[in-house]
Amino acid sequence: MIEISGLEKRFGEVVAVNGVTFSAPDGSVTGLLGPNGAGKTTTLRVLSGLMKADAGTVRVDGADVGADPVAAQALMGILPDSHGLYPRLTPREHIRYFGELHGMDRDSLNARTAHLISTLGLEHAADRRVEGFSHGERTKVALARALVHQPRNVILDEPTNGLDVMSTRAVRDLIRCLRLDGCCVLFSSHIMQEVSALCDSIVVIAHGRVVAHGAPDELRERTGRENLEDVFVSLVGLEEEPPQ
Amino acid sequence: MIASRLPVVLRKELLDGVRDRRSVASVVISALIGPLLVGFLFSQLAERQRVADEVKVPVVGAEFAPALVDWLKQQSGVSVVAGPARPEEAVRERKEDVVVIIARDFSSKFARSAPAGIKLVADATRDTARTKVRRVRQLLQRYSGEVSALRLIGRGISPAVAVPLRIEDVEVSSAQQRAAMIMAFVPMFLIMAAFVGGLQIATDSTAGERERASLEPLLLNPVSRWSVVAGKWLAASLFAGAGVVFSASLCMVVMQRVPLHDLGARFRLGAPELAAILALCVPVGFFSSSLQIFIATFAKSYKEAQSYLGLLMLLPTLPGVLAPIYPISGQPWLAPIPILGHYSLVTDLLGGKALPAHLLVISAVSTLCAAIVLVALTTRLFHKERIIFGR
C-alpha cells in the first residue's frame, strides 16, 4: 500500500511536482500516466527515498519514507528510470548482491535467485557476464535484482521502455503475477495500450499535478471518449488550456 | 534491523576489481616499477665500483721500467696492457680512460736516484673516468713511497723521518652518497604504489558507478550510505595496500641482493626494517584510496575522474621534489602529516636510523583518521541528489 499526499518538489525555480496526492492499494496495479516531463519520475524518486520532498508525505505500508527511508526501502522493490548493471558481474551475481544487501539468508537467496532466473527466462545467460547483453536482457536482470527480496510494494519506472515484443510480454506477465500474489504494483508509462491492458486504476499526471485518478472505464466515461489515447490527450490538456 | 552491510559491498567491489584486468595490471605494474628501477640503479652503481676496482692500465714504454710494471702486475685487480700508439688522442677520443707513459730515460734516472718521469694522460672533464684515474695515480704514488722508503733504509735513515704526516682516509665516498640518493626514491615509489594500486577501484566504484547509472539502484537497497562508501573505500584500500606490500617486499629483495656494504651503506636491510616500512606505508593506501574516492565522486564519468586523479598523482612526487631544497629527513615532527611524514620517516629508516615505535603509531593513527574524515565527507556526497541523479 502506497500513499502519497500533498507531494511537492522544486528544482530551483522549476516546480516539478506540485501537490500530487494518490494511493495505490495492495493486490492491484496502478498506472502512473503522463507526458514526458510531467513529474512521474520525480514522484517515483521521492517515493524511493532517494529524493527529499519539499512538502507532503509518502507512506509505504504505513512507514514514512521521508522520516526513515532505509526502513521504507526494505518494503519496496524498485526498478528506477536508470538501471545500470555491473559489466563484469553475471546476472546471478547481480541478484545475489542485492539480496545480500537486503540481508537475505543464503538458502532463501539461492531459491529466490533460481526462481527469478527461470521466471524471466534468463537461464541461458545466468552465469555469463552482463557485458554485451541486449537491452531486454539487461532490463530483466535489473528487474530480477529489484524483486529479489519479494517486496510487497513494487515500483517500476517505464519498465517496458525500449523492449522488444517478447521481453515486453515477459514483463507484463510478471506484473500480473505480482498482482495475483497480492502485491501493490505502481508503474509509470506513456504507452496507452500497456496501461489499459494491465492497470486496475490509472493516475494521470500533467504539469506536476494529478489531473485524473480512476479505473480505465471511469476515465472513459468522464471524458466521453472511447479510445484511451483520446482520454489521455483530453485529460492532460493538450487539446485546450491546462486545467488550473 | 539493518545490520551493517559493509562486508557485502566490500566483497562485491573486490570481485569486480579482481575481474577488472586494468585494476589488477595497475597494481602489479605500479608495484614493479619502483623495485626494478632501484635494482637497476644499484646494479649500475655496483658495476661502476667494480670497474674502478679492477683496473686495466695501458702503459706506453713498459720496457723502460720493467720493475715498476712487474710491481703493478702484482697488485690485486690490476692488469697491465700495452698502451696505444697515440696516447693523448686515444684519451681525447675516449678510447682510453687513462694512459701511463714511461719516459725513455726512466731507468737511468731511477738508477741515479733522480726523479724519474712518468706521464699520466687523463681527461679531467670526464666524470666516469675519474675514479679510475685516481686509482692509477694512487698506485703510482704507493710505488713511489715504497721505493723511497727502501732508498732511505739503504742510506741508514728510518723511512719514518721522511713521513712527517700520516694521513688516514675516512671513506665518505661518492658511491655512498649515490646509494643514499637511490634509497631516497624508495619512499616515493612505495607511496606511488599505494596511489596507483587503489586508483581503479576508487574510480570505478564511484565515478564509474555514476556513469553506468548503477548508483541509483544500489542506493535503493536498505543500506546506510556509510556502509556503501566504507565498503568501496576498503576494497580500494586493500588493493592499494597489496600494491605497497608487494612493492616494499620486492624492494627489500632487490636491496638484499645488492652489495650495500661495498657501496658504503652502514647496515643491512632485513625483516625488522621491512615490517617498519610496511607499518608506515600500508596506511598510506587507506589514505590515498579515501582521497581518490572523495574526488572521484564529484566526477560524472570515469574519464572526468581520471583527469582529476591524474593531477592527484603529482602529490606523492612532491616531497621528492622538495627534498633537495628543504631537508625532509630527520624531522620527526612531520610524522603526523600524511605523505610528507611517510617520506621523512621512510628516508630515516633506510638511512639506518632506528625509528621509535611511537612515531609509527602517530603516523598510522593520523593517516587513518584523515582517511576516515574523507570517507565521512564522501558519505555526505552520497546523500546529495545531484550526485545520485546527476549524470
pLDDT band at B83 (very low <50, low <70, confident <90, very high): confident
- What cell numbers appear for B361 in the block? 603509531
Q: What is the DSSP string of A48-66?
A: TTSS--SEEEEEETTEETT
Residues B192 and B19: beta-carbon distance below 8 Å: no
- Whether the per-residue pLDDT at A194 is higher than 90: the answer is no
**Rounded mean pLDDT of B345-349?**
84
Chain A residues touching residue B391 (CB < 8 angstroms): 82
What value does the mean pLDDT take over residues B221-245? 95
Distance CA B106, CA B111 (A): 9
> What average pLDDT is seen over chain B?
85
Q: What is A124-148 written as a DSSP string?
A: GGTTS-STT--HHHHHHHHHHHHTT
- Reference A22, options A14, A31, A13, A9; nearest CA is A31
Lowest mean pLDDT among A173-177, B355-359, B365-369: B355-359
> Mean per-residue pLDDT for B73-90?
84
Asked if the C-beta of A146 comes within 8 angstroms of chain B's C-beta atoms, the answer is yes
β-partners of residue A213 are: A203
* pLDDT tens-digit map of B146-202: 888 888 888 888 888 877 777 765 555 555 566 767 777 888 888 999 999 999 999
Tens of pLDDT, residue by residue over A89-126, are 999 999 999 999 999 999 999 999 999 999 888 999 99
User: What pLDDT, on a 0 to 100 scale, did the predictor assign at position A232?
Assistant: 79
Alpha-carbon distance A38 to A9, whole Å? Answer: 12
Cβ within 8 Å, pair A86-B16? yes
E-strand ranges in B319-387 read: none
User: Residue B26 contacts by C-beta under 8 Å, 6 or more apart in sequence?
Assistant: B196, B197, B199, B200
**Which residues have C-beta within 8 Å of that of residue B390, sequence separation ≥ 6?**
B210, B300
Give the closest residue to B241 by CA, choosing from B311, B290, B295: B290
Q: Residue A26: is its pLDDT beyond 90?
A: yes
Residue A244 has pLDDT above 70, yes or no: no
| Pairwise CA distance, residues B20 & B14, whole Å | 10
Beta-carbon count within 10 A of A109 CB: 19
C-alpha span between A35 and A237 (Å, rounded): 11
User: What percentage of chain B reaches a pLDDT higher than 90?
Assistant: 31
Between the alpha carbon of residue A142 and those of residues A156, A207, A211, B15, the distances in Å are 11, 29, 31, 19
Facing residue for B220 by CB, picked from A50, A87, A103: A50
Q: Tell me the β-bridge partners of A14.
A: A11
- Cross-chain Cβ contact B222/A73 below 8 Å: yes
Residue B208: which pLDDT band, with cuts at 50, 70 and 90? very high
Whose CA is closest to B186, among B64, B371, B42, B364?
Answer: B42
In 3D, which of B300, B265, B290, B328 has the Cα closest to residue B391? B300
Q: What's the CA dihedral at B321, B325, B331, B336 to 10 degrees?
A: -40
Using DSSP's 3-state secondary structure scheme, residue B118 falls into strand
Best of A42, A46, A85, A86 to substitute, by most chain B Cβ atoms within 10 angstroms, is A86
Q: What is the pLDDT of residue B327?
A: 72
pLDDT at site A242:
46
DSSP letter at B317? G
β-pair type (A2-11, A14-24): antiparallel
Q: Is B216 exposed, middle or buried (0-12, 13-18, 19+ CB in 10 A)?
A: buried
Q: Which residue of B has its CA nearest to A93?
A: B12
Q: Say yes or no to pLDDT of B371 above 90.
A: yes
- Of A73, A10, A29, A25, nearest to A47 (Cα)? A73
- Kindly report which listed range (A47-56, B256-265, B277-286) carries the lowest average pLDDT score: B256-265
pLDDT score for B264: 57
Rounded-to-integer distance, Cα A94 and Cα B365, Å:
36
pLDDT in tens, B294-327: 999 999 999 999 999 988 988 888 887 777 677 7
Taking residues B33-61, what's their average pLDDT? 80
Mean pLDDT of B129-141: 84
What is the pLDDT confidence band of residue A148, given thresholds at 50, 70 and 90? very high
What local confidence, expressed as pLDDT, does residue B288 receive?
A: 96
A200 is written with which cell numbers? 486496475
When mean pLDDT is compared over A127-136, B138-147, B171-180, the highest value belongs to A127-136
pLDDT of residue A142: 95
Q: A-chain residues within 8 Å CB-CB of B224?
A: 70
A27-52 average pLDDT score = 91
Residue-averaged pLDDT of chain A = 90
pLDDT reading at A3 higher than 60: yes
Work out the percent of chain B whose per-residue pLDDT is above 70: 91
Q: Cβ separation of B212 and A45 shorter than 8 Å? A: no
* pLDDT reported for residue A234: 79
Check: CB of residue A31 under 8 Å from CB of residue A12.
Answer: no
Q: What is the pLDDT of residue B315?
A: 85
Answer whether residue B257 shows pLDDT above 90.
no
pLDDT of residue B1: 40
**For residue A79, what is the nearest residue in chain B, using CA coordinates?**
B217
B26 has pLDDT over 60: yes
| CA-based nearest residue to B338, from B267, B391, B386, B290 | B290
Are A84 and B220 within 8 A, CB to CB? no
Contacts with A129 from chain B: Cβ below 8 Å: 19
Please determine, for residue B350, whether its predicted confidence score (pLDDT) is greater than 70: yes
Checking if the pLDDT of A144 tops 70, the result is yes
The pLDDT of B83-88, averaged and rounded, is: 85
